Amino acid sequence: MSIGQDIEQAAVILSRGHLVAIPTETVYGLAANAFNPDAVIKIFEAKNRPQFNPLIVHTDSVEKMEPFLNGFPDWADKLAQRFWPGPLTILLPRNEIIPDLVTAGMPRVAVRIPEHPLTLALLRSLDFPLAAPSANPFGYISPTTAAHVAEQLGDKVSYILDGGPAKIGIESTIIGLGASGDPEIYRLGGLSLEEIESVIGPVQIKISPVESNPESSGMLKSHYAPKTKLVHGSIDVLLASYAHRDPLLLTYKRMHPGYPSDRQLVLSPTGNIPEAAHRLFSALRELDDRGARLIIAEEVPDQGLGRAINDRLRRAAG
Ligand code: TXA
Ligand code: MG
């Protein structure tokens, strides 16, 4: 495995059917040629990911998606124009050019144009799109730096394209057409509900903690999880029940008074939600590495990216 910024080398490795970890503004992805099932299968093997869990397909333009989509509805077009490149994934009807392995046999494919100069340049140089889930072992916290990828998948990936720390730090928001005939949100993420609604009006959130055959595995229950047991809610309330376990605290904007400061980590001292999102996964990894018996994570304000943060912490709590 090597780490660098060599787009040509990354392109050659991908063209030969091997894996490359790529930076995006949300989290690092583990990429393969989406048109090549023999390459895509390596993603599932490297992550130890069940094959019923489909992958997002990345391109650098809507034009490059058209050959494998069955149309691009109006609402999707509005969102794409406004938010791509960016932290939004859209589920759209697909055709047979996309291997079943990529969509777990489902009739829709998840598509996204990520916003990162290195990855956009890489995508531009390729004549195939990249299937890429987050570059972490299945169920664990998503990586927001090249070092996170190297630590956990270093022996499984030929090359890590190092694009620095992920700007947003939380996975993309996933939206698709629901049974009702209106778009629905399946995973809260780096693009806020408020921003989406400002373009297409009120949208339902359809996230259910179903364990088996999830429509979107953002729905898998214990996901995005550290190895250390984690509970999520109000620090006061949780400390009342769990203080005897000598927990580590992950707080939103201030240290919990009267608790040892070396057992606490503050996400954003200025109370800035995007900053808290940006630091969330690194902070969880840091706390996880300390080998405590318990992590108590404070609920953040449930607005903007705060909804996605609370969603990830709830899932980490399982
Ligand atoms: O920000 C992101 O979305 C990152 C970067 C690398 O783009 N990718 C990412 O991928 O988070 P992943 O695989 O960790 O999460 C993608 C989610 C999964 O929950 C998967 O079940 C859902 O998208 N998904 C993908 N394709 C789908 C499909 N065809 N139908 C329903 N859900 C789908
Ligand atoms: Mg993931």
For the Cβ of 30 lying below 6 angstroms from any atom of ligand 1, the answer is: no
Give yes or no for a contact between 26 and 189, defined as CB atoms under 8 angstroms apart: yes
For the Cβ of 163 lying below 6 angstroms from any atom of ligand 1, the answer is: no
For the Cβ of 24 lying below 6 angstroms from any atom of ligand 1, the answer is: yes
Give yes or no for a contact between 295 and 230, defined as CB atoms under 8 angstroms apart: yes
pLDDT computed for residue 179 by the predictor: 82
pLDDT computed for residue 35 by the predictor: 98
pLDDT computed for residue 15 by the predictor: 98
Give yes or no for a contact between 53 and 104, defined as CB atoms under 8 angstroms apart: yes
For domain 2-205, give the CATH number.
3.90.870.10
pTM: 0.96
Q: Which atom of ligand 1 is nearest to the CA of 189?
A: 1
pLDDT computed for residue 113 by the predictor: 99
**Whether the domain at 2-205 and the domain at 230-316 fall into the same CATH topology:** no
199 closest CA partner among 71, 76, 73 = 76
For domain 230-316, give the CATH number.
3.40.50.11030
Residue 258 Cα to ligand 2 midpoint, Å, equals 36
CA–CA dist 20, 162 (Å, integer)? 11
Give domain limits for the chain: 2-205, 230-316
For the Cβ of 54 lying below 6 angstroms from any atom of ligand 1, the answer is: yes
Q: What is the pLDDT along the chain (318 residues), one digit of tens a residue?
A: 899 999 999 999 999 999 999 999 999 999 999 999 999 999 999 999 999 999 999 999 999 999 999 999 999 999 999 999 999 999 999 999 999 999 999 999 999 999 999 999 999 999 999 999 999 999 999 999 999 999 999 999 999 999 999 999 999 999 999 888 899 999 999 999 999 999 999 999 998 653 334 455 555 556 788 999 999 999 999 999 999 999 999 999 999 999 999 999 999 999 999 999 999 999 999 999 999 999 999 999 999 999 999 999 999 998
For the Cβ of 23 lying below 6 angstroms from any atom of ligand 1, the answer is: no
Give yes or no for a contact between 309 and 301, defined as CB atoms under 8 angstroms apart: no
Q: Which ligand is nearest to the CA of 89?
A: 1
pLDDT computed for residue 6 by the predictor: 98
297 closest CA partner among 310, 306, 285 = 310
For the Cβ of 27 lying below 6 angstroms from any atom of ligand 1, the answer is: yes
pLDDT computed for residue 207 by the predictor: 84
For the Cβ of 132 lying below 6 angstroms from any atom of ligand 1, the answer is: yes
Give yes or no for a contact between 197 and 203, defined as CB atoms under 8 angstroms apart: yes
pLDDT computed for residue 208 by the predictor: 60
Q: Which ligand is nearest to the CA of 223?
A: 2
Residue type present at position 4: G
Partnered with residue 30 across adjacent β-strands are 21
To which residue do tokens 């954003």 refer?
A: 268
* Atom 23, ligand 1: residue with shortest CA distance: 216
